Structure 1
Amino acid sequence: MNSVKEMDRISELAQKYYPETVELRRYFHKHPELSKMEFNTQKKILEVLNNFDLDIRKCAKTGVIADLKGNNPGKTIAIRADIDALAIDDECGKPYQSQIKGSCHACGHDGHTAILLGAVKILCEIRDKINGNIRFIFQPSEEEVFNGSGADAIIRDGGLDGVDGIIGLHLWQPIKMGTIGISSGPVMAASDQFSINIEGKAGHASMPHQTIDAILTAAEVVVALNTIVGRDVDPMKQAVVSVGVFQSGSIYNAIAGRAELRGTIRSLDEDVRESVYDHIKKIVNHMCDAMGAHCTITRSPCTYVLQNDPKITSIVLKAGKEVVGNAAHPISPFMSSEDFSHYLQKVPGCFFFVGIGNPEKGIVYPQHHSKFDIDEDAMIYGMEVLSRSALKLLNEL
């Protein structure tokens, strides 16, 4: 199924289901749920899917998998959307603003979920043209990976069994509305969390000579860590080292004996990833030795480098160009991370970006901001590209 007439049918169906898709997105935005708590979201997804002839099952506790069997035999392509929200108060100021205090779809997962449901409707209407099977994966817990990635839970529950390739998308504020970014190779960074605990010697603020100042030691560590990317990483490669937590002390006139630092490493190369962590350990140990403090350093790997498969990416790029012409094109990698990368350790696939940035509509706030919102017009592009890509992959892989 790749004729112009048949692809025009996908465009017609995307227009048909677009209003429903917008309403679904607003529903999810209004009722966000945090990672591993997406029970109402799961219920709503099932409510929509049960209107179609699909093999449906719950998975990963709060996720959903639905299989569409085409009329003709063939391969199996999976399409994934993440469904969880962030622990942020919503300040978008729209009628669909979150009704749940401390929970907000500030990353676009509400749109991803609605877009995939729209693609389900499109593809179910053209089932007779499908050569193979399409698996729809509604994945929980993309944001909270430290206590178990949602992608890993899907994989453990057999979500990739029999799958020949997988695709997914992300609504993305840094690129403008009407643009679709589709690149081969590394497109998102590996992510690690590191923790540094420093043990000094507490004492009275007026007698520092009797103490080992944990705050001063930790401060020296933070400054030194900022030299790694500029001095220890090949300037032709990319990495980020950021400290996001510095906790120490509880009273103004005492020198703290303990300090904790927590941060993240981002990299697009596994060798760089290991090298950066090695430098962190050297710096921390050296600083603590010099100050007379003791330290422990731990690392928690979160995601892999997200590497798009060249062949699948080329097919998805063709689908993108059919939808927006030359506004579908390769883009530079981002240092953000995604647990979609866990799927790509198992099967080949492609993860692409749909631009939503639109200053004329006030869509200027970045992902994870309390005023984040999307240009809903972008959703129709997502529906079309996912649907066209799935069909092309079934025919061309």
Structure 2
Amino acid sequence: MLEKVMKAAHAIEEALITIRRDIHRQPELALQEYKTAKYIADRLRALGCEVTENVGSTGVAGLLRGRESGKTLAIRADMDALPIKEETEHGFCSTTPGVMHACGHDAHIAVVLGAAEILFSLKDSFAGNIKLIFQPSEESPVGGADQMLEEGVLENPHVDAALGLHVTPELPAGQMGCKEGPFFASVAYFTIEIMGKGGHGALPQHSVNPILVAAECIQALQTIPSAQIDPMEPFVLSIGSIHGGQKSNIIPEKVTIEGTVRCFGDELMSRTGQIMENLLRSITSAYGAAYRLNFRSEVKTLINDQGMIGLIKEAGEEILGKDHTLAAQPVLLGDDFASFSQLVPSAYIYLGVGFPGQPNPPLHHPKFDLNEEALPIGAALLSYTALKFLS
């Protein structure tokens, strides 16, 4: 079966490059993936898949049936681009001003469509179903995964397990990284409003300066990782934005602080929100100020199932070799594939797309690029793992 998969993957390499470049030329932001969704739906229909559109806003689901009934495996790709002005010099650069596929979702789409084509060519070889999920809004706090799940994307037929991948320029094309257990972090965002009492900068005794209070709050929040979290526990609390005041001699009424928390585990995330409440309450009370905390847990921990990771690791070793199937480290990035992993046994891997021997700009960079030799490799990995699961 491996020989058939690799032959099919090699045969569609040019088609996958075309798909990736077509998608790259017309990037669309979260919940605006209309052209992208239509492009995907048209290709799925051309394969003979049963297609459902507008799942969770702009999402697309395709169903590929094997020779007879059996288990159902979902394979997911995300579709949205980023508000970044592209600075590469390719002939297929973004034609949408200020929007770019800088996180490789164009490659994810091409890889999953490639896996669909390989599996379609072998559909008489397996029992069961493949559900192809193309998800909007991975980059937005409005999580596209949860929207699709709420609309029943894992039902009709019921999905038994799920696969996904993310490209990384940190590994060269021809390598993959995988890890059992927690892989991507839980993600929360917070907004803090510090309310003081405005006045003249020359008469501070008649005011409560929210900038001063905010500074103390920020200092206190930065002690949480070192003083209140187990030092062996991966944890990040970052302040990314602070806004307050308009003129040098006016004490403002309010300061707004925004940031993010990343960790592994929902219990720790919940406890962090409570720690922040306690610190903010104490500090603002001491100064005679007030506060509002909006703490939003947006993405859960992405957990790789032992059995599913075992399958895709086995596939990787057969396709790439053991030396190129690497152990990945957990990261404090977030990905809402986590919502799938919380519901069904799942495997999510890194697919190397780096160019060997040269600098590779990171994800979310205006010069991010990827080695298209990885596209048929990703399609082969997903399709071969799917066949292993369904057998």
TM-score by length of 1: 0.94
Tell me which residue corresponds to 1:287.
Answer: 283
Alignment match, 1:66: 62
Q: CA deviation at 1:359?
A: 5.7
Query: What are the ranges of 5 or more consecutive residues in structure 1 without an aligned counterpart?
Result: 1-5
Partner of 1:157 in structure 2?
151
Which one of 57, 81, 85 corresponds to residue 85 of structure 1?
81
Give 1:242 shift. 0.8
What amino acid does structure 2 have at the position aligned with 1:156? E
Tell me the secondary structure at the aligned position of residue 104 of structure 1.
coil
Residue 391 (structure 1) aligned with residue 376 (structure 2): no
Cα distance in 2 between the residues matched to 1:39 and 1:270? 34
2:352 matched residue in structure 1? 355
Match of 2:320 in 1: 324
In the TM superposition, residue 244 of structure 1 has moved relative to its aligned partner by: 1.1
Corresponding position of 2:19? 24
Classify the secondary structure of the residue corresponding to 1:234.
coil
Tell me how far 1:361 sits from its aligned partner: 4.6
- Per-residue CA deviations over 1:164-204 (Å, capped at 9, x if unaligned) read 10000000133343321111100000001111111011112
Report Cα offsets for 1:64-108 as digits up to 9, x if no partner: 111111013311101000001112222223222211112111111
Match for residue 335 of structure 2?
A: 338
1:213-362 to structure 2, matched below 5 A, reads 213-326=209-322, 327-358=324-355, 360-362=357-359
Matches of 2:69 and 2:171, distance apart in 1: 38
Question: Where does the alignment leave 5 or more consecutive residues of structure 2 unmatched?
Answer: none
Deviates more, 1:104-113 or 1:372-381: 372-381
Q: Deviations over 1:315-366 (max 9, x none)?
A: 111011112112113211010011111112221111111122336354x222
The counterpart of 2:41, out of the listed 46, 49, 69, is: 46
Q: Which residue identity does 2:136 align to in structure 1?
A: P
In structure 2, how many angstroms separate the alpha carbons of the residues matched to 1:164 and 1:142?
A: 22
Match for residue 4 of structure 2 among 3, 9, 25? 9
| Partner secondary structure for residue 72 of structure 1 | coil
How far off its partner does 1:157 sit? 2.1
**Contact 1:74-1:131 at 8 Å conserved across structures:** yes
Report the equivalent of 1:3: none
Q: Aligned partners of 1:175 and 1:241: how far apart in 2?
A: 27
Shift of 1:367: 1.4
Taking the aligned partners of 1:302 and 1:70, their CA distance within structure 2 comes to 36
Q: CA deviation at 1:379?
A: 1.6
TM-score (normalizing by structure 2):
0.96
What secondary structure sits across from 1:73 in the alignment? Answer: coil
| Pair 1:32–1:219, CA change in 2 (3 A) | same
SS at structure 2 position matched to 1:181: strand
CA–CA distance in structure 2, aligned partners of residues 286 and 297 of structure 1: 13
The answer to whether the 8 Å contact 1:239/1:272 transfers is no
1:194-213 counterparts in 2 under 5 A?
A: 194-213=190-209
Deviates more, 1:105-114 or 1:170-179: 170-179
Shift of 1:374: 1.4
How many equivalent pairs are there? Answer: 387
Counterpart of 1:186 (choices 182, 190, 195) is 182
Segments of 4+ in structure 1 off by > 6 A? none
Matched to 1:127, the amino acid is: K
Deviations 1:9-61 (A, max 9, x none): 11111111111111111111110001111000011112212211211111222
Mapped partners of 1:15, 1:37: distance in 2: 33
